[in-house]
Amino acid sequence: MNASAPSPAPDTAPNTASDIRADHWVVRLAPPGLRPYARLARFDRPIGVWLLLFPGWWAIALADAAQSTAVQNSVAPSWFLYLLFGLGAVLMRSAGCTVNDILDRDYDAKVARTADRPIPSGEVSLAQASVFLLLLLLASFAILLQMNALTIVVGCASLLLVFPYPLMKRITYWPQLWLGLTFSWGALLGWTAVTGALGWPSLLLYLGGIAWTLGYDTIYAHQDKEDDVLIGVKSTALKLGTATKPWLLVFYGVALALFGSAGAVAGLLWPFWIGLAAVALHLLWQVAALKMDTPHDCLTKFKSNRFVGWLFLAAVWAGSPWLHGWLGLS
């Protein structure tokens, strides 16, 4: 820790506006010297890991299904890839949060929700955060090296999206679109990791993921709209304002159409459509029940997208020919 930095905030900060989960078990169990880095990596808020991970898992499942159709149900699921993508999502989400906090340190210091984060509070210096970021990227690259050449190239290309993202809210009212480009990249990675090539299902899934992200991150942005106005940053929450709910229906409707198209092109069987209908019902509930001026409700609706991720993954599995072959249904 930088000896000239201000004293670190205590682990049980009294500031209830802070977004730090000091009571989270990961932070509590970490050695004291590593706790600031656990908070910097957002280990106390794993929802971001799930939202980054699901497009990759969906693509792996979709590619397995497409390949099992092509070779008459003889392809087993790529379980090892699910594990690699899980580890990679943890590392890359941590890296993304670190980049975000490095670039946003001056903004974060002005907002009650973010002022206690490790960099603006002085718990982690800029140099320490930079070394931590380098270690995360090296570990992520080591995981990427376990995959085929195209996946390595596609994975490295994602950095072109990761690093500029924190700057987008300073120049456009659509930073959520850039987040969609970034968080949905796993849809391309997952498909190439299984097949060794890009394909239409992965591209449709990627575009659908962008629209889904536009929806859930617009909901998230409504938490911060008052602070965003004060410090001069932009978001779709500010751009859309009271028209947010109709736009959420558009975003989620486009996502569902593209997800359905990806499933159809990949040759998924009829149970997939039942699962997709369940996803649609959940997204409709999100929009109908959303209280845009209640930050806690916005956060709750945002976090519920983890359920969307599991529902859609289950839908792809349910419609996969390999599963029907295993169960003797085909």
Amino acid at 83: L
Residue 47 has a pLDDT of: 95
CATH number of residue 315's parent domain: 1.10.357.140
- Could you tell me if residue 191 is inside a domain? yes
Question: Which 3 state secondary structure label does DSSP give 33?
Answer: helix
More confident residue, 105 or 205: 205
| pLDDT higher than 70, residue 9 | no
Q: Whole-angstrom Cα distance, residue 103 to residue 118? A: 13
More confident residue, 9 or 304: 304
Question: Which of 25-29, 215-219, 262-266 is predicted with the least confidence, judged by mean pLDDT?
Answer: 25-29
- Could you tell me if residue 20 is inside a domain? no
- Could you tell me if residue 99 is inside a domain? yes
| Alpha helices (H) in the chain, listed in sequence order | 25-29, 35-40, 47-70, 79-103, 105-108, 118-121, 126-144, 149-157, 159-162, 165-171, 175-183, 186-195, 200-221, 225-231, 236-240, 244-265, 271-289, 295-303, 305-318, 321-326
| pLDDT higher than 60, residue 98 | yes
Question: Which 3 state secondary structure label does DSSP give 123?
Answer: coil
Confidence of residue 11 (pLDDT cuts 50, 70, 90): very low
Confidence of residue 3 (pLDDT cuts 50, 70, 90): very low
Residue 15 has a pLDDT of: 40
Is the separation of the CB atoms in 95 and 163 below 8 Å?
A: no
- Could you tell me if residue 10 is inside a domain? no
Residue 323 has a pLDDT of: 78
Closest by CA position to 321, among listed 276, 263, 268, 272: 268
- Could you tell me if residue 221 is inside a domain? yes
Question: Which of 152-166, 194-208, 313-327 is predicted with the least confidence, judged by mean pLDDT?
Answer: 313-327
| pLDDT higher than 80, residue 131 | yes
Torsional sign, CA 69, 84, 156, 43 = positive
Domain span at 117:
28-326
Instruction: Provide φ and ψ at 5, rounded to 5°.
Output: -75, 160
Residue 4 has a pLDDT of: 36
Query: What is the pTM assigned to this prediction?
Result: 0.90
Residue 1 has a pLDDT of: 35
Residue 72 has a pLDDT of: 55
Percent of the chain's residues with pLDDT above 70: 90
Question: Which 3 state secondary structure label does DSSP give 217?
Answer: helix
Confidence of residue 93 (pLDDT cuts 50, 70, 90): very high
Confidence of residue 296 (pLDDT cuts 50, 70, 90): very high
Closest by CA position to 323, among listed 256, 258, 272: 272
- Could you tell me if residue 180 is inside a domain? yes
- Could you tell me if residue 123 is inside a domain? yes
Q: Whole-angstrom Cα distance, residue 101 to residue 119? A: 7
Residue 101 has a pLDDT of: 93
| pLDDT higher than 70, residue 5 | no
Confidence of residue 19 (pLDDT cuts 50, 70, 90): low
Is the separation of the CB atoms in 228 and 235 below 8 Å?
A: yes
- Could you tell me if residue 5 is inside a domain? no
Q: What's the pLDDT tens digit per position in 204-241?
A: 999 999 999 999 999 999 998 988 888 889 999 999 99
Closest by CA position to 12, among listed 39, 37, 51, 46: 39
Q: What's the pLDDT tens digit per position in 161-197?
A: 999 999 999 999 999 999 999 999 999 999 999 999 9
Q: Whole-angstrom Cα distance, residue 20 to residue 42? A: 8
Residue 75 has a pLDDT of: 63
| pLDDT higher than 80, residue 18 | no
Mean pLDDT (the chain, rounded): 90
Q: Whole-angstrom Cα distance, residue 298 to residue 217? A: 10
Both tokens of residue 205?
Answer: 């899934």
Could you give the number of structural domains in the chain? Answer: 1
